[in-house]
Amino acid sequence: MDRIRITGGNELNGTISISGAKNAALPLMTAALLTDDTLILDNVPRLADVAQLQRILGNHGVDIMTSGKRPGDSEYQGQTLHISAKTIIDTTAPYELVSKMRASFWVIAPLIARMGEAKVSLPGGCAIGTRPVDLLIMALEKLGAAIQIDGGYVVCKAPKGLKGATIDFPKVTVSGTHVALMAATLAKGTTVIENAAREPEVVDVADCLLKMGAKISGAGTPRIVVEGVNRLNGTRHTVLPDRIETGTYAMAVAMTGGDVQLAGARPELLQSALDVLVQAGAVITPNNEGVRVARNGAGLSAVKVSTAPFPGFPTDLQAQLMALMTRAKGSSLITETIFENRFMHVQELARFGARISLDGETATIEGTDRLRGAPVMATDLRASVSLVIAGLAAEGETMVNRIYHLDRGFERLEEKLSACGADIERISG
Q: Reduced to 3 states, what is the DSSP secondary structure of residue 13?
A: strand
User: Which 3 state secondary structure label does DSSP give 20?
Assistant: strand
Cα dihedral value 110, 111, 115, 117, nearest 10: -130
For ligand UD1, the closer of residues 222 and 281 by Cβ is 222
CA distance 392 to 256: 7
Indicate the residue type of 374. Answer: A
Distance CA 116, CA 230 (A): 13
> Residues 33, 85, 109, 174: which binds ligand UD1 (CB under 6 A)?
174
Least Å from the CB of residue 110 to ligand UD1 = 16
Specify whether the CB–CB gap between 14 and 35 falls below 8 A: no
The verdict on 134 binding ligand UD1 (CB under 6 A) reads yes
CB atoms within 10 A of CB 66: 12
User: Count residues contacting ligand UD1 (CB under 6 A)?
Assistant: 20
Q: Contact between 131 and ligand UD1 (CB under 6 A)?
A: yes
CB-based contact 242:379 (threshold 8 Å): no
Site for ligand UD1 in 300-329 (CB under 6 A): 315-316
* Closest separation in Å from C-beta 308 to ligand UD1: 9
Active site residue 126: yes
31 is a site residue for ligand UD1 (CB under 6 A)? no
What's the CA gap between 145 and 394, in Å, rounded? 53
| 74, 75, 405 from 71: Cα distances, Å | 9, 11, 33
Annotated catalytic residue within 126, 156, 208, 420: 126
Give least dist CB 138 to ligand UD1, A.
Answer: 7
Query: Which phi and psi (to 5°) does residue 33 adopt?
Result: -70, -15
Selected range binding ligand UD1 among 4-12, 170-178, 211-219, 283-291, rule: CB under 6 A: 170-178
Task: Give dist(CA 146, CA 185) in Å, integer.
Answer: 18
- Considering beta carbons, is residue 129 or 152 the nearer one to ligand UD1? 129
Q: Site map for ligand UD1, 72-111, x if CB under 6 A?
A: ------------------------------xx--------
132 or 189: CB nearest ligand UD1: 132
Kindly state whether residue 175 participates in binding ligand UD1, applying the rule CB under 6 A: yes
Report the residue from 173, 185, 246, 256 that binds ligand UD1 according to the rule CB under 6 A. Answer: 173
Q: Considering the complex, what minimum distance in angstroms separates the CB of residue 383 from ligand UD1?
A: 12
Phi and psi at residue 39, to the nearest 5°: -105, 125
Report the nearest approach of ligand UD1 to the CB of residue 178 (Å): 7
How far apart are alpha carbons 182 and 89 in whole angstroms? 20
Please say which residue, 198 or 327, places its beta carbon nearer to ligand UD1. Answer: 198
- In angstroms, how far apart are the furthest CA atoms of the chain? 66
Q: State yes or no: residue 16 binds ligand UD1 (CB under 6 A).
A: no
C-beta of 14 vs 132, nearer to ligand UD1: 132
Residue 176 found at the interface with ligand UD1 (CB under 6 A) = yes
- Stretch binding ligand UD1 (CB under 6 A), from 131-139, 142-150, 254-262, 291-299: 131-139
**Hey, which bits of 31-86 come out as E strands?**
38-44, 63-67, 79-84
Closest to ligand UD1 by CB, 361 vs 423, is 361
Q: How far is the CB of 292 from ligand UD1 (least distance, A)?
A: 26
Q: Which stretch binds ligand UD1 (CB under 6 A): 12-20, 172-180, 270-278, 416-424?
A: 172-180
Say whether residue 44 binds ligand UD1 (CB under 6 A). Answer: no
* HEC per residue, 89-141: CCCEECHHHHCCCHHHHHHHHHHHHHHCEEEEECCCCCCCCCCCCHHHHHHHH
Report the nearest approach of ligand UD1 to the CB of residue 385 (Å): 12
Chain centroid to CA 103: how far? Answer: 10
| Alpha carbon distance 192, 181 (integer Å) | 9
Q: Quick check: helix, strand or coil at residue 290?
A: strand
- Which of residues 35 and 177 has its CB atom nearest to ligand UD1 in the complex? 177
Of 199-258, which residues contact ligand UD1 (CB under 6 A)? none
Q: Return the ∠ at Cα 304 (arms to 299 and 306), rounded to 5°.
A: 135
Which C-beta is closer to ligand UD1: that of 339 or that of 410?
A: 339
In contact, 373 and 390? CB cutoff 8 Å:
no
By the rule CB under 6 A, 343 interacts with ligand UD1: no
Least CB distance from residue 295 to ligand UD1, whole Å?
26
Active site residues: 126
- Note the residues at the interface with ligand UD1 (CB under 6 A): 23, 26, 102-103, 129, 131-136, 171, 173-176, 315-316, 338-339
